[in-house]
Homo-oligomer: A and B are copies of this chain.
Amino acid sequence: MTAANPNPYAAKPGDYLSNVSNFQLIDSTLREGEQFANSFFDTEKKIEIARALDDFGVDYIELTSPVASEQSKKDCEAICKLGLKAKILTHIRCHMDDARVAVETGVDGVDVVIGTSKFLRQYSHGKDMNYIAKSAVEVIEFVKSKGIEIRFSSEDSFRSDLVDLLNIYKTVDKIGVNRVGIADTVGCANPRQVYELVRTLKSVVSCDIECHFHNDTGCAIANAYTALEGGARLIDVSVLGIGERNGITPLGGLMARMIVAAPEYVKSKYKLHKIRDIENLVADAVEVNIPFNNPITGFCAFTHKAGIHAKAILANPSTYEILDPHDFGMKRYIHFANRLTGWNAIKARVDQLNLNLTDPQIKEVTAKIKKLGDVRALNIDDVDSIIKNFHTEVTTPQLQSARKNKQEDNDNDNDKDVPSLASVPAAKRAKPTV
């Protein structure tokens, strides 16, 4: 925020634990995403999605447990054989029955999870913390003995007892897990709470910290970002955030967040211009539309409408954009066909139409457009027709002399702000032609 710090969104020197410029992605579209209401991925679709994620550059791909169903196991084995750059993980309950099947699938790592909140201990598996610790140690040592990565995660971490949590994490860290996981399974966590828990955990374990955030209360992206600030290293994402209920941290949304903080890291590591294709692939597969307000790929993510915004964007896009659409293979759009438009936006359109109008003329035609925009929704054809008619009027010799006085009046108008009908005295207003 000061001149001494050229990028105010970068980690501050004080944030010495921050991994904002050194994070990894675990994509769980093929695990958490399978738990999305509409999901049914056949083998071919799973492979297509896995290849697309690998090409994008995710660090890990997490797959549904091989004990979930026969086909889940076969698909897991098939994806392990693809030879992707991304490491392949599968996600299992903290149970030897599951672990024995998982290690035979060919995965690079196993993600183990067990519920630690009083809710899950009472109503789900019914085990106490001693039992959980005992199972965890057995499963972890078994998986490690096979020479593959192991992550131990609590479930519903933010409603678990802090001392219980730290005890179990400390225990598994000593055995030598690759990662411990914090999971906001119900989507209740808020950013400062996340920061505190991650910082505290960071002081207890030496392994990496992975975080998994559900989006029930709309904080999944912010929580992921704040977890990285606190020292977490890995974030679970899925394409469009699909998962149980309304899902988890979305891959695209997190990229929007991270590129602001660590542009070089993000741009060099991930193929950002592939986000749109991957989102379309998954959206088609699960039969949903891309949300209208999706970060980056929502239809209006780079659309500027109010006259004052359009004016500044035309002068310098950074005025009203923190994301550069070109980084994502997208384009910005100046919405000029509406009553909030301004003469700078209309001037840009006049240029696109390759017409020649003076600034006062453009202000005059802008007033006409705003007048019609007050009556009904406009489309581009409406505006183009008004501009073209106006252009014909001012360039046809027999109509020119009648207009001359008006133009001279307009030239004296020294209002440098975006004009609006109300700020132009009534006498100067063009009569609407429609």
A78 within 8 A of B: no
Looking at the complex, which one of B162, B318, B422 makes contact with A101 (CB distance below 8 Å)? B422
Task: Kindly state whether residue A215 has any CB partner on chain B within 8 Å.
Answer: yes
Q: Is the C-beta of A304 less than 8 angstroms from some C-beta in chain B?
A: yes
C-alpha gap A9/B219 in the complex (Å): 14
CB-defined A-B contacts under 8 Å, sample of 21: A8-B158, A8-B159, A35-B309, A37-B335, A40-B376, A69-B340, A70-B371, A70-B422, A97-B423, A187-B322, A190-B222, A191-B225, A216-B301, A218-B257, A218-B295, A222-B222, A222-B223, A241-B293, A244-B305, A244-B320, A245-B302
Tally A residues with Cβ within 8 Å of B: 123
The 5 closest A-B pairs by CB, nearest first: A222-B222, A291-B291, A218-B221, A40-B377, A71-B374
**Whole-angstrom distance from the CB of A312 to the nearest CB of chain B?**
4
What are the residues of chain B within 8 A of A374 when measuring CB–CB? Answer: 69-72
Residues of B within 8 A of A293 (CB): 215, 240-242, 246-247, 291
Which A242-296 residues have C-beta < 8 A from chain B?
A: 242, 244-247, 250, 253-254, 256-257, 260-261, 288-289, 291-295
CB < 8 Å neighbour of A188 from B9, B162, B417: B9
- Beyond the given pairs A218-B257, A244-B303, 12 more chain A to chain B contacts, judged by CB atoms under 8 angstroms and listed by A's residue number, are A1-B160, A65-B420, A119-B312, A123-B316, A186-B320, A192-B192, A192-B195, A216-B295, A222-B222, A222-B226, A245-B303, A245-B304
Check: A354 CB closer than 8 A to any chain B CB.
no
On whether the beta carbons of A420 and B300 are closer than 8 Å, the reply is no
Instruction: Please name the residue on chain B nearest to A240 by beta carbon.
Output: B293
Task: Determine if A226 and B421 form an interchain contact, defined as CB atoms under 8 angstroms apart.
Answer: no
Residues of B within 8 A of A19 (CB): none
The CA of A417 and the CA of B97, in the complex, are separated in Å by 11
| A244 CB contact (under 8 Å) in B67, B216, B306, B339 | B306
Q: Does A427 sit within 8 A of B, measured CB to CB?
A: no
CB of A95 within 8 A of chain B? yes
* A151 beta carbon closer than 8 Å to chain B: no
A122 close to chain B: CB less than 8 A: yes
With A217-B260, A289-B292: A192-B226 Cβ-Cβ less than 8 Å? yes
Q: Are A191 and B222 in contact (CB under 8 A)?
A: yes
Whether the pair A300, B36 counts as a contact (CB closer than 8 A) is yes
* A153 close to B (CB within 8 Å): no
- Residues on B with beta carbons closer than 8 Å to the beta carbon of A340: 34-35, 64, 68-69
- Which B residues are in CB contact (< 8 Å) with A375? 71
